[in-house]
Structure 1
């Protein structure tokens, strides 16, 4: 049977949560969990923050990364060159993690993804006409930043220069490793061996390994590939499934950089859609794409240990009717998170087993292995070997019978209970003609609000193959007729389209939302305001709104310093909506107060309690 909140609170897992904060709910309140003043939903074009807190804009798009002797300043008119952009903060900050230096909570490395570009803002004069320089600049504005930050008496600041500072982008040389490396579907004219690739882009959510490396996830990579329709061969089943077909591209990269032309290099797109491992402490290290984790529109790579010390990595595939995956390493993790541990574990992600989740009725689920020769995955079903299973993981999951989900995005694991939470952001196609029907795990047709699903592995072992599951929240406005909302407590603040997710060291669940710009403040979303960040206490079910972002933005990327006294959050694409007919962004945040007064910039916020206390209290 599904485990509901009452059953959860009666379980030993709940006891572990309570142990973090006291022996009763009264103790939790006394401890100050969620003691901040909730902010109202609002359409205000600014960051609205709980009044007990203060914030500082730390690292907006175009800021120097901090590479010594190479720190071009941001040009407000977007006249920075492609070479400049390769040394500056990328656009559209997303997943992020704080790596402490020497165990300190007041100094560390912030590593963050840059998901995609708004080319109207990126280039002086806009995107049109495209040319080689604009393609290079756009590629340089995605990827990953590594910056150093320190806490001073005035608040957090970026350390400039820093020996750790680094930009990794769409033209950075990388290595391909694991079972699919070197196989025919990864070979190209520029890389006949199939083991080297230029760049990473479309970097969305992320993960962190126990040995201190960063896992960046390549999500909507498909939209950067195209080609002339008249000379491109009919797409294969795999190309259709992954969207790498001519006419699908957001940008005409293929006209100016040959590797993006599907008609000339059909295998190049197979080299994207992976989890990329990066050592943030060694700026000379080569990032590695780990093929054993499978290729998809990667949204998360959340790590936890199995009972016997191996690594489990939970992953979502962020598209409608796609799947939730788990990778379990063959070998045990060598303990430590220093340089020696990173060497000892450098190949650990190259061998293991990949599974897809099936959510059964009555609150039970199982992990189905995606392995050549098992579960109908073989030559007869179109897979020559395990490399093809990994490269076309979506097709293998179809055959194995995974549950088609409502856009699985971020995944978080509770440090005390092992509970796993995943955001299912929305799926307006569910239940429509020709689309999959509702099911137990995806119970709403035309699911515009999304929700958060959770599961508990049997024996609390991430290496197992069965689990219990339930819905932590079915998001939305309960006042909307037929919304079908469900929240874990009667006094939860409402939200829609959950996306970013993070559980801090104290067990607080931070929830971030991504309603589409045109939908915000209208129709069924009218009462939900701009995108927001909330904080939940899983032990009590209480959810409180902590922050609301400026117009048109997404709230994403969340990491907490080890002492839990500093919180870092990303504001992505402020001003994205352009609805007044002028083509002008709807925000000028953070540099201006009136739309049109400044170019809006994605940025990282550093947030602290005014009294220096624990965040979330």
Structure 2
């Protein structure tokens, strides 16, 4: 059993716009060797100079340019391929919250395969992006924004953990190739979504605790829409069913006001067409988002009419997915909110940063071959907007990136003020519901599967580009044509994130590391700590005999050390840290691709027990900062 159907959804090409590709721009402008060295022309040269200067002030002056960021013993190539995880000798890990454990200690115990009712109260499958929200000892009355900023002591041992559940194949979840009833479908649906958990450290061990705010947000949870497209007819169905659910929750974000952003990625694969009432053929909009008659083979549409593209009563149901969803981890009664101003794409993540002028900026990648990188900028400073009762994520401008061949870039607005959009779209609502088509029209640059985005202390922005060749081996001198193993780019916006221009460079090319102790491929998850350490997580065919892994990079010197390798057939993904940075939560997704003959982790190896997605909690043996 593999997750090939799921992987193919990322690698398929839905973009037929003909926009000039990033690969073409890069190949025409720079030789491979020049790119690897990070040497760019004109504007990009300015970028490098400014980055070098600002790196001296990383972490508000806590570390100087000569400080050693990486001082742990790395996992070697020889150790990096096994049926259980391998972590640096300087670190320990705890296995935590595997799929099927109850979200509270008093909940239903794990059994395989799960019932729909039990799975509704259990940790989901497909552990992915996550955020740790620290709590105060007086969390009922303490302002959560102050908790978030200042809770280094108590908050580093007690908090709310929000975790995405991206996907789980039918054989892994149900023990069968296809559902045979609506109950089977509900069990699968309840395994997707988000878990909101209260966690606490006792000594050196973390545990779940009972909490009024612990909950599962899944495919059948009531949700609401907000922002410019919230009342659009494109989000209404003929039978008037209320909006429900979130699915294929990949990466994530967190807001300055203490809420969680979960991102819907490959939502198209859960829909199909039964053709019971009428023959279904995809519209141009459905084609652009990758809808097909059988989807990924989940079979939900056979028993749940919401996911049947040929059912006229549920026309537009598919438009209700593909959004960034905001969840309040401190209020278990809150209805999750889908923020339409951020556009409808296959959201890999939503990285939030405060601009120099106080506005909130959200960077987002659309994870499919030859799709785009976006950013949203709120209309006004976020504190002002919230004080006036306006939501910063509902009012602003959505942009898409164009990478120019001279190392410069432009953020192209996606609104009705742009003539080509006014000519092709009836309203701003339509632009936001069909964001991919709008980005095609303005001439955005197709990228090689944009995934996670992270912002460094010096304001450089990093984005992983996983690959563009369906993860096959490649030969030839230029890794970008084709690009089987991916790379990482970085850019710097003008006006500290709120400007309409940027300069960019290639930071790392995966192929350049192969055959060395720094070997990695298919970069996916990333996070940058306040000292300038870049954490890279991988999802794909690693080279040199490695499992998927997590590495740490000194962004000043590009020194790379391997901190962790996962188990055979898994993906290493998701990063959350406590305020003191001495505890890190990392996920292992689909260990063994769900096949017990490959691995049984986290259970002891027996060749029979079904492996379970889980979280690893990393700590340094000496109690130091993670990554150091």
TM-score class normalised by the smaller sequence: 0.7 to 0.9
Within a 5 Å distance, the mapping from 1:131-530 to structure 2 comes to 131-159=181-209, 161-191=210-240, 196-229=242-275, 231-264=278-311, 265-334=314-383, 347-378=391-422, 380-381=423-424, 383-414=425-456, 416-428=457-469, 444-459=480-495, 461-476=496-511, 478=513, 493-515=518-540, 519-520=541-542, 525=543, 527-530=544-547
**Structure 1 SS opposite 2:286:** helix
Is contact 1:212–1:342 with CA below 8 Å preserved after alignment?
no
Superposition CA RMSD, Å? 2.3
**Compared with structure 1, are the counterparts of its residues 560 and 375 closer, same or farther at alpha carbon in structure 2 (3 Å cutoff)?**
farther
- Equivalent-residue separation in structure 2 for 1:313 and 1:391 (angstroms): 18
Whichever structure has more helix as a proportion of its residues is: 2
Q: What TM-score results when the alignment is normalised by the length of structure 1? A: 0.87
Give runs of aligned pairs for residues 14-33 of structure 1, distance below 5 A: 14-17=55-58, 20-25=61-66, 28-29=67-68, 33=69
Task: Report the CA distance between 1:117 and its aligned residue.
Answer: 1.4
Contact kept in structure 1, 2:59 and 2:531, CA below 8 Å: no
> What does the per-residue CA deviation read over 1:150-202, in whole Å, with 9 as the maximum and x for residues that have no partner?
1221322222x12221110000000011111121111113437xxx4110010
Report which structure shows greater RCO (CA 8 Å, sep ≥6): 2
Length, aligned pairs only: 560
Do the aligned partners of 1:172 and 1:199 also contact (CA within 8 Å) in 2?
yes
1:375 deviation in Å? 4.9
Instruction: Report the CA distance between 1:542 and its aligned residue.
Output: 1.2
Change over 3 Å in CA distance of 1:178–1:606 after alignment to 2? same
Instruction: Measure, in 2, the Cα distance between the counterparts of 1:343 and 1:134.
Output: 46
- Distance between the aligned counterparts of 1:156 and 1:328, measured in 2? 37
Offset, 1:509: 1.1
Rounded Cα–Cα distance in structure 2 between residues aligned with 1:589 and 1:136? 26
SS at match of 1:349: coil
With over 3 angstroms needed to count, the CA separation of the structure-2 counterparts of 1:429 and 1:610, relative to structure 1, is closer
Moved more, 108-117 or 12-21: 12-21
Determine the C-alpha separation between the residues in 1 that align with 2:178 and 2:430.
Answer: 38
Residue segments in structure 1 that go unaligned for 5+ positions in a row: 336-340, 431-441, 481-490, 579-583
Deviation at 1:10, TM superposition (A): 6.7
Q: Does 1:603 find its partner at 2:620?
A: no
How far off its partner does 1:412 sit? 0.4
Moved more, 95-104 or 150-159: 150-159
The unaligned stretches of length 5 or more in structure 2 are: 1-40, 137-150, 472-477
Task: Determine the C-alpha separation between the residues in 2 that align with 1:409 and 1:456.
Answer: 18
* 2:158 corresponds to: 107
Aligned to 1:589: 601
What secondary structure is seen at the aligned counterpart in 1 of 2:431?
helix
SS in structure 1 at match of 2:287 = helix
2:22 maps to none
Quick check: 1:146–1:166 contact (8 Å CA) kept in 2? Answer: yes
The change in CA–CA distance for 1:476 and 1:20 in structure 2 (over 3 A counts) is farther
Q: Deviations over 1:251-273 (max 9, x none)?
A: 11111111111111230000000
Once the two structures are superposed, what CA deviation does each residue of 1:565-612 show, in whole Å capped at 9, x if it has no partner? 10110000001176xxxxx55211001224x23110000111111111
Aligned residue among 103, 124, 128 for 1:65: 103
Whether contact under 8 Å (1:505, 1:562) holds in the other structure is no
Distance 1:200 1:502 in 2: 24
**How far does residue 334 in structure 1 lie from its aligned partner after superposition?**
1.6
1:40 to 72, 76, 83: 76
Is the aligned partner of 1:91 residue 2:91? no
- What SS does structure 1 have at the residue aligned with 2:481? coil
Q: Is the 8 A contact 1:585 1:600 kept in 2?
A: no
Partners of 1:601 and 1:592 lie apart in 2 by 12
1:4–1:539 Cα change, 3 Å: farther
Distance 2:372 2:179 in 1: 38
Residues 129-166 of structure 1, C-alpha deviations (whole Å, 9 max, x = no match): 5211110011100100011111221322222x122211
Deviation of 1:346 after TM superposition, in Å, equals: 6.6
Alpha-carbon distance between aligned partners in 1 of 2:440 and 2:223, rounded to the nearest angstrom: 30
Name the structure 1 match of 2:19: none
Once the 2 structures are TM-superposed, how far is the Cα of residue 345 of structure 1 from its aligned partner?
Answer: 6.6
The alpha carbon displacement at 1:344 in A equals 6.8
Alignment match, 2:37? none
User: How far apart, in 1, do the equivalents of 2:517 and 2:507 lie?
Assistant: 12
Following superposition, the deviation at residue 21 of structure 1 comes to 4.7
1: CA distance, partners of 2:395 / 2:604: 50
1:262-303 Cα shifts (integer Å, max 9, x gaps): 111230000000000000000000000000000000101000
**Conservation of the 8 A alpha-carbon contact between 1:334 and 1:345:** no
